[in-house]
A = this chain, B = another copy of it.
Amino acid sequence: MGCVLMNSIDISWPLSAGVTTYKNKGDFKTAATRNWQEHHARESSIYIGSHTGTHVDAPAHFLEQGKTIEHTELSRLIGKAQVIDLGFIETEGITREHLERISLNAPRVLLKTKNSLLDPEADFNPEFIYLEKSGARYLADQGILSVGIDYLGIERLQPAHETHQALLEHDIAIIEGLRLGCVPEGLYTLVCLPLALMGTEAAPARAVLLADQAL
């Protein structure tokens, strides 16, 4: 999809046959159900994990009584958003200390890290930069509506899923699988639209950043 800067910036993970999947699960496939040679038309079917590519997690993902994705208000995913460049973090998680230094000016926060440099078709990288629980709690304390990160998970090595817990307990929508390599730090209008799935704990999504003049 490249780095074409037009009226909108596509920050979605391209869903190709070789797409990186979480822990190399390989849960993405398309197949032709009608083809040109036989039908003079093309149609396809898609098999996709709910956490494949760009997607939104709802509270039901990690909370026993959590709401499913159709209850995630779209207003959490549409509106003013801040892209924060944390490319200086080499290996560890994003902590409260990292985030406290930054002036938060939007209720939707997109964390740009060196994850965005990874090839979107590479093998899964278990060393990805993640949001550590203290960072998640800090963002929840700030009353944010949603948070996005540029890898297929937002946490790792936290057995009780504390990052997800800290966010989902406040109904904060978690956007995983963004691609922010082409996006300078700053303020944008985010539109992230998950498929209108009923009853699942997450949904694949497409996400763009808009310039105001695009509308």
* A interface residues, Cβ below 8 angstroms from B: 1, 6-8, 10, 12-17, 27, 30, 33, 36, 40-51, 53-54, 60-62, 64, 70, 73-75, 78-80, 161, 189, 191, 193-202, 204-208, 210, 212, 214-215
Query: Would you call A16 and B46 a contact (CB within 8 A)?
Result: no
Collect the chain B residues with CB atoms within 8 Å of residue A6's CB.
73-75
Collect the chain B residues with CB atoms within 8 Å of residue A161's CB.
41
Query: Would you call A42 and B61 a contact (CB within 8 A)?
Result: yes
Report the Cα distance A1→B48, complex, angstroms: 23
Report the Cα distance A169→B209, complex, angstroms: 29
Collect the chain B residues with CB atoms within 8 Å of residue A1's CB.
70, 196
Query: Would you call A74 and B208 a contact (CB within 8 A)?
Result: yes
Question: How many chain copies does the complex carry?
Answer: 2
Q: Indicate whether A79 sits within 8 Å of B215 (C-beta atoms), given known contacts A46-B50, A200-B46.
A: yes
Report the Cα distance A196→B206, complex, angstroms: 6
Q: Which residue of B lies closest to A53 (CB)?
A: B196
Query: Would you call B43 and A51 a contact (CB within 8 A)?
Result: yes
Query: Would you call A79 and B7 a contact (CB within 8 A)?
Result: yes
Q: Indicate whether A41 sits within 8 Å of B53 (C-beta atoms), given known contacts A7-B75, A46-B204, A48-B46.
A: no
Min CB distance A159 to B, Å, is: 11
Collect the chain B residues with CB atoms within 8 Å of residue A78's CB.
7-8, 191, 208, 210, 214-215
Query: Would you call A199 and B16 a contact (CB within 8 A)?
Result: yes
Query: Would you call B196 and A193 a contact (CB within 8 A)?
Result: no
14 additional contacts, CB 8 Å, given A14-B196, A43-B201, A46-B48?
A6-B75, A7-B78, A15-B195, A16-B198, A27-B33, A30-B197, A42-B60, A42-B201, A43-B49, A43-B51, A75-B214, A193-B206, A195-B206, A210-B215
